[in-house]
Structure 1
Amino acid sequence: MGRLSRPLVPTGALTDFYEQLHALHLAAGQPSMRRLQRLTRTDRRPTGINPTSIHAAFVRPQPARWEVVAEIVRVLGGDVDRFATLWRRARHCQVRDDPDGAPPARPDPATRVPVPRELPPDVLPFTGRDPLCDTLDGLLTEGTDRAAMMTVLLTGASGVGKSALAVHWAHRVAGRFPDGQLYVDLRGEDPGEPASATEALVAFLHALGDTADLPGTPAALAARYRTRISGRRMLVLLDNAASAEQVRLLLPGSPGCLVLVTSRDSLATLVVRHGARRLELGPLDTGAAIELLRDLIGDRIDAETETAHALVQCCGGQPLALRVAAERAVALGSVPLSTLFGATAAPARRTTGCTPEPRRPVRVRLPGGG
C-alpha cells in the first residue's frame, strides 16, 4: 500500500475529518499500514487491526467504524475526544460520488438527531480504583469486537463507591461513544419506591428526541427505545438498580452500545439471562483511603497519621464515610483531627467495628457517591 490519497468528498465535515486524520498521520512521521497494525496490537486484539482496514479508514469516501478510527488516532498520538466529534459530524454528512456536484443541504436543526450528554458531574478527587478502571477498559475493548451489546454490572455495599466509579469511568471513555451517553438514577437505594422502567424509558426517549405519541405500555416503550438507539454507539448508565426486571427493558437490542449498571444487589438474573459481566467493589485499601483523605483535608493527615489510619479503619475504607468525615474536618479546620475523631477512632472502638449507639439511620447522598 503506497502513498495515501485523500478521498473525494464535498467541502464540510467530511473534508475536515479527513484533513485532520491525514495531518495527524503526517505529524507522526507517516508510519506504514503494517507499522500501524503492530501498534494496534493488544491483549484483546493480538494481531492488531488489519492493514486493509487501516488503509480504508484514510481513503474511503465515508468514515470507517469508530473503533478503528479511535485506535488509529490513539496510536498516532492524537486527541481521541476531539476526533470523536469530527467523526460524528462526518458520519452524518452525505457523500457524493461527483466532487463537482453541489454540497449536501445543511440539515434542518429541527430534524437533527439529539446527542444526549446526561452523565452527572465527576466526583473529584477520585482515587484507588485504577485496577477496576483497567478492567472496565478491557471490557470496553472486548465489547467493540462483539456482535452483541455489552452489559457490565458493578455491585457492592452502600457507600463503597459504585456510582462514583461508574460516573468517573464513563466520563473517561465518553469519547468512545460519539452518539451520546444516557443516565438514569433508578433509586434502588432510596427509602421510597424505585424508579419504574416506564419512567426511565420515557426519559430516555425524550432525550433521544422522541416526544410525540409515545406508546402506553412498558413493552411498547422498550421497543420504541431499542429502535431509536439501534445503530448508534452510546453508553447507557443505569445507576442504583433495584432489580434485574427493572433493568431488562432498558437494555438496547443491538451491538454498538455499552450498558453500565450499579446495584448493591447481585442481580443474578442479569448475569445468567443477559450475559452481564459482574465486577464487585470492596472498600478502599489503607493507602488509597489515606490518599483520599489527604486530597480532601490536606497536609493535616500527614501531621496526625495515627489518627488518620484509625479513622480509615473506623470508616471501613468506605469512600462515602471518609468523605463525610473529611467534610467535618474541613468545616472545623482549626480543630485537630485527634480532637474531632479521637474517641471515634480509639482502638477500643475499632475492635468493635466502630458501631455507634442505635439511632435512626441518616442517609447521606453525594453526587455519584454510591
Structure 2
Amino acid sequence: MGRHLMGRLSRPLVPTGALTDFYEQLHALHLAAGQPSMRRLQRLTRTDRRPTGINPTSIHAAFVRPYPARWEVVAEIVRVLGGDVDRFATLWRRARHCQARDDPDGSPPARPEPATRVPVPRELPPDVLPFTGRDPLCDRLDGLLTEGTDRAAMMTVLLTGASGVGKSALAVHWAHRVAGRFPDGQLYVDLRGEDPGEPPSATEVLVAFLHALGDTVDPPGTPAALAARYRTRISGRRMLVLLDNAASAEQVRLLLPGSPGCLVLVTSRDSLAPLVVRHGARRLELGPLDTGAAIELLRDLIGDRIDAETETAHALVQRCGGQPLALRVAAERAMALGSVPLSTLFGATAAPTRRTTGCTPEPRRPVRVRLPGGG
C-alpha cells in the first residue's frame, strides 16, 4: 500500500560528520528504492535462517535512532534496497566509532583521554513504538532545540495536554531522536504527578541525579544545597533533562540546571504557568490524534485487519476520542482476541460498554496504564 509502518522516516538529529554521512546515505538509499514500507522491508528480509524477516520495529529504529543499529540489521536493509554493502560497512564503522567516542569525524581524539572519565548517564526509558501522528510537534521541538543552541540561557520546553494524550510518549520519542545532540548524557525522572500517592521529593530526585553524575552525596544536605551542587555538576555540560509527569512548577524548580547547553523537557497535564512566567519555558500543547494518524496507529498495532474493517476502525477512533493511550488499550484487546472480528469487539453491534471498548475510563477514575509515561 506504499505506507510507512510508523509514519514519516525522520532522520535523527546527530552531530555533523560520520554519523550524518551514515544516516544521509541510508535515507537516500531508501528514497532511491521507492521508499518501501517497513512491512515490505520485513518481507524482503525473510531468509531460511530468519523465516519471518527482521522485525519492522527494528528496521524503523535503524533509520530514526541516533545510534547506528547492529550491522546484521543494517547489512540486510542495504542488501534488500540494492545498496553497496561494502561501502555501507565502511560508513557504519566510522559512525559507530564516532558515536562511541563522541567524535563527529570518527577520527582519533587530538589529545589524550583523561585518566578518569565523568559518568555519562543514559537514563531515558525505552521508546514507544510504533509512534505516529506527531511530526508537526517534533518539528517544533527541533526548532526550539536549534534556538536553544544560540541562547545564553538554558532552554526549557513544557509539553501539556490531557491524561492519555501522549505527552510522555512524545517526550521520550523525541528525546531518543536527538540524544546524539547531548553527548554528556540524558537524565530522566517520573515525578508521578498523575499517580496516586506521594510523588518523589526534591531531595530524592536530586540525590539520584547527582549519583548519576558521579557524586556520592554523603550526607545529602538540604534541597537548596543539593540543587546548588547539582547545578555545579551539570555546568558546562550538554545534557538533556526529562522531567516527566510534573504536578506543579514548584516540583520542577529545583531540578532546573543553571547554565546554557542543557535542554529541559517537562511534561504535565497542567499548564504550569509559573514555569512559563518565571523561568521562560516554552509551552506546547498536545491534542488528540487526527483521524488519519489514529487509523495509522491502529494499522501499525493491529495490522491489515484495520483495512478490512475500515468503518469499524473509524468508529473505534471516534469512541476513543483520538487518544493514543486509549487506542493502544483497544488494540491490545484486539490482538489478544485475534480471531474475533473488530466489528464484534468494537462495532455498533457490540454492547456499548466501557469494558467492551477499552477506550473510555470510568468517571473520576483515570486510566492507570503506563507506557513510558503514556500520558
Superposition TM-score, scaled by structure 1 size: 0.69
- 8 Å contact 1:244–1:267 — kept in the other structure? yes
How far off its partner does 1:207 sit?
Answer: 0.3
2:188 aligned counterpart, secondary structure: strand
Moved more, 53-62 or 282-291: 53-62
Deviations 1:35-66 (A, max 9, x none): 99999999999999999999999999999999
Q: Do the aligned partners of 1:114 and 1:207 also contact (CA within 8 Å) in 2?
A: yes
> How much has 1:338 moved relative to structure 2?
0.6
Deviations 1:82-113 (A, max 9, x none): 99999999999999999999999998998320
- Give the 3 Å change call, closer, same or farther, for CA 121–334 of structure 1 in structure 2: same
Q: Tell me the distance in 2 between the aligned counterparts of 1:44 and 1:271.
A: 55
Change (3 A) 1:313 1:345: farther
Q: 1:124 to 1:232 in 2, by over 3 A?
A: same
The answer as to 2:368 corresponding to 1:363 is: yes
Give the Å deviation of 1:127.
0.1
| Whole-Å separation in 2 of the counterparts to 1:315 and 1:6 | 31
- Cα deviations by residue, 1:253-311 (Å, 9 ceiling, x for unpaired): 00000000000000000000000000000000000000000000001111111111011
Deviation at 1:151, TM superposition (A): 0.1
Q: CA deviation at 1:367?
A: 2.3
How far apart are the structure 2 equivalents of 1:350 and 1:359?
A: 16
For residue 267 of structure 2, give the secondary structure of its aligned residue in structure 1. Answer: strand
Distance 1:153 1:105, change over 3 A: closer
* Structure 1 ranges of 4+ moved more than 3 A: 1-111, 343-362
Distance 2:65 2:239 in 1: 24
The C-alpha deviation readout for 1:308-346, integer Å capped at 9, x for no partner, is 101101000000000000000000000000101125878
Q: CA deviation at 1:75?
A: 27
Structure 1 pair 18–278 and aligned structure 2 pair: CA distance change class (3 A)? closer
Distance 2:181 2:367 in 1: 38
Unaligned runs of 5+ in 1: none
Q: Tell me the CA shift for residue 195 of structure 1.
A: 1.7
Query: Which moved further from structure 2: 87-96 or 45-54?
Result: 45-54
**Displacement of 1:363:** 1.9
CA distance in 1, matches of 2:357, 2:154: 45
Q: Which moved more, 1:93-102 or 1:273-282?
A: 93-102
Pick closer, same or farther for the CA change 1:89–1:353 going to 2, 3 Å: closer
Give yes or no for contact 1:122–1:368 (8 Å, CA) kept in 2: no
Hey, what's the Cα distance between the residues in 2 that align with 1:214 and 1:55? 46
Mapped to 2, the partners of 1:229 and 1:154 lie a distance apart of: 23
Is the Cα–Cα contact under 8 Å of residues 320 and 360 in structure 2 kept in the other structure?
A: no
Following TM superposition, by how much is the alpha carbon of 1:196 offset from its aligned partner in structure 2, in angstroms?
1.5
Shift of 1:233: 0.1
In the TM superposition, what is the alpha-carbon distance from 1:364 to its structure 2 partner?
1.5
For the residue of structure 2 that corresponds to 1:18, the secondary structure is: helix
Distance 1:322 1:31, change over 3 A: closer
Q: Tell me how far apart the structure 2 counterparts of residues 74 and 340 of structure 1 sit (CA, whole Å).
A: 41
- Aligned mates of 1:80, 1:17 — CA distance in 2: 12
Structure 1 residue 237, shift from structure 2 partner = 0.2
Post-superposition offset of 1:212: 3.9
Larger radius of gyration: 1
User: Which region of structure 1 is more displaced relative to structure 2, 135-144 or 11-20?
Assistant: 11-20
SS at match of 1:93: helix
CA offset at residue 215 of structure 1? Answer: 3.6
Instruction: Give the CA deviation at 1:203.
Output: 0.6
Partners of 1:172 and 1:272 lie apart in 2 by 29
Q: 1:125 pairs with 120, 130, 150, which one?
A: 130
In structure 2, relative to structure 1, the CA distance for the partners of 1:115 and 1:271 (3 Å cut) is same
Q: Report the TM-score when normalising by structure 2.
A: 0.69
1:191, CA displacement in angstroms? 1.0
Alpha-carbon distance between aligned partners in 1 of 2:128 and 2:185, rounded to the nearest angstrom: 20
Report if the CA contact (8 A) 1:62-1:95 is conserved: no
Describe the shift of the 1:253–1:123 C-alpha distance in structure 2 as closer, same or farther (beyond 3 A): same
Alignment gaps of 5+ in structure 2: 1-5
Distance 1:226 1:190, change over 3 A: same
How many residues are aligned here?
Answer: 370
- Give the Å deviation of 1:369: 1.3
Call closer, same or farther: CA 1:48–1:250 in 2, change over 3 Å.
farther
Contact 2:206-2:255 within 8 A present in 1 as well? yes
